[in-house]
Amino acid sequence: MQDGPGIPTAERLTAALEELSGLGWVRAAPKNRQGMGGRSRKDWLVNPALGRGAHGVG
């Protein structure tokens, strides 16, 4: 993660995302990899209200 969030391990990144999820800032994206091989992705969606500021004005 050269240009990533500066969290050194996948475990710590997952823990941080789970904490943000509990606060409503992010949520796990639905899985959409039916029939594809390999490891499944762990995508996250950011709450769009965060881009509108603290009062939801955008």
**Percent of the chain predicted with pLDDT > 70:** 71
Tell whether pTM > 0.85.
Answer: no
Which residues are CB-contacts of 31 (< 8 A; sequence separation ≥ 6)?
40, 41
> In a 3-state reduction of DSSP, which class is residue 46?
strand
Give the chain's mean pLDDT: 79
- Give pLDDT, residue 1: 43
Summarised one tens digit per residue, pLDDT across range 15-35 is 999 999 999 999 999 877 666
Is 40 within 8 Å of 31 (Cβ atoms)?
yes
pLDDT of residue 42: 82
